């Protein structure tokens, strides 16, 4: 009887020690995802940082996005929290589903010199801000609408439309993801009357 108890205890201990390795290996086997998107939407202004021209907007489905208003956005100073605006912006995303390294955790936001290639006919320098690599956390999962909202190290939010239902099911709140992305540069930002 003691032998069975010791074997059960040994198996239980082995399982506890190996499960995190298995789970991490499974997570690391998820290939990175990459895409460019042109987004046009209405949103309510929830925060404005005038010095950096960053505007956080809440979309019609509750999704949050922080965009930087390009110099082409006129009358920026007239926009205030609570305004409903229509805006267009491009985004580039590459998501890596793995644990961040110690160096990434120490410096969770870094500018990168090179990212993905822009689609044909698109000049990324004209439509996006700096390309950065960041350790982000999954904050909201809207599985019925296939969207995930992540929060970056500076407190900015980004809602991403998911295309892979299997990946969507494997994500969880609080999960760390490595994103390489072009900061959203708003091409237009117009008040809705």
In angstroms, what CA-CA distances link 116 with 12, 162, 180?
A: 45, 19, 9
Task: Kindly report the average pLDDT of the chain as a whole number.
Answer: 77
Across 24-38, 60-74, 90-104, 157-171, least confident range: 24-38
- φ, ψ of residue 124 in degrees (nearest 5): -60, -30
> With the C-alpha atoms ordered 183, 188, 189, 192, is the resulting torsion angle positive or negative?
negative
Residues belonging to the chain: 193
**HSE-up (13 A, CA, CB side) for residue 159:** 20
Query: So what's the pLDDT on residue 45?
Result: 95
Both tokens of residue 60? 């019609």
Q: What is the pLDDT of residue 150?
A: 94
Report residue 178 as tokens: 């490595």
Give the model confidence (pLDDT) of 145-184 as tens digits.
999 999 999 998 988 888 889 899 999 999 999 998 876 6
Query: Residue 7's pLDDT band (boundaries 50, 70, 90)?
Result: very low
Report field, pTM of the whole predicted structure over 0.85: no
| pLDDT value of position 20 | 38
> What pLDDT is stored for residue 130 in this prediction?
66
Is residue 150 within 8 A of residue 158, CB to CB? The reply is yes
pLDDT band at 92 (very low <50, low <70, confident <90, very high): confident
- % of the chain beyond a pLDDT of 90: 36
Give the model's confidence band at 3: pLDDT under 50 very low, under 70 low, under 90 confident, else very high: very low
Which pLDDT score is estimated for 63?
84
Percent with pLDDT over 70 in the chain: 74
The CATH superfamily holding the domain 33-191 is Copper binding periplasmic protein CusF (2.40.50.320)
> Which range is least confidently modeled, 37-41, 49-53, 85-89, 149-153?
37-41
How many CA atoms lie less than 13 Å away from 16 in the CB half-sphere? Answer: 5
Lowest mean pLDDT among 91-95, 125-129, 146-150, 154-158: 125-129
Please give the pLDDT value at position 124: 46
Task: Write down the domain spans for the chain.
Answer: 1-30, 33-191
Residue 18 burial class via C-beta count within 10 angstroms: exposed 0-12, middle 13-18, buried 19 and up: exposed
Phi and psi at 20, nearest 5°, equal -60, -35
């Amino acid at each position: 009887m003691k032998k069975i108890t010791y074997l059960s205890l040994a198996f239980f201990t082995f399982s506890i020690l190996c499960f995190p390795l298995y789970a991490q290996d499974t997570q690391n086997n998820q290939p990175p995802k990459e895409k460019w998107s042109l987004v046009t939407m209405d949103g309510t202004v929830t925060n404005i940082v005038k010095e950096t021209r960053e505007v956080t907007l809440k979309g019609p489905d509750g999704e949050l996005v922080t965009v930087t208003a390009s110099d082409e956005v006129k009358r920026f100073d007239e926009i205030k929290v609570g305004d409903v605006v229509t805006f267009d912006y491009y985004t580039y995303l590459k998501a890596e589903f793995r644990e961040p390294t110690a160096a990434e955790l120490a410096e969770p936001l870094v500018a990168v010199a090179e990212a993905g290639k822009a689609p044909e006919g698109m000049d990324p320098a004209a439509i996006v801000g700096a390309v950065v690599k960041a350790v982000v956390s999954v904050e909201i999962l809207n599985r019925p609408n296939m969207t995930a909202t992540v929060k970056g190290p500076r407190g900015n939010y980004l809602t991403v439309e998911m295309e892979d239902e299997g990946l969507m099911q494997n994500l969880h709140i609080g999960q760390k993801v490595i994103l390489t992305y072009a900061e959203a540069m708003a091409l237009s930002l117009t008040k809705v009357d």
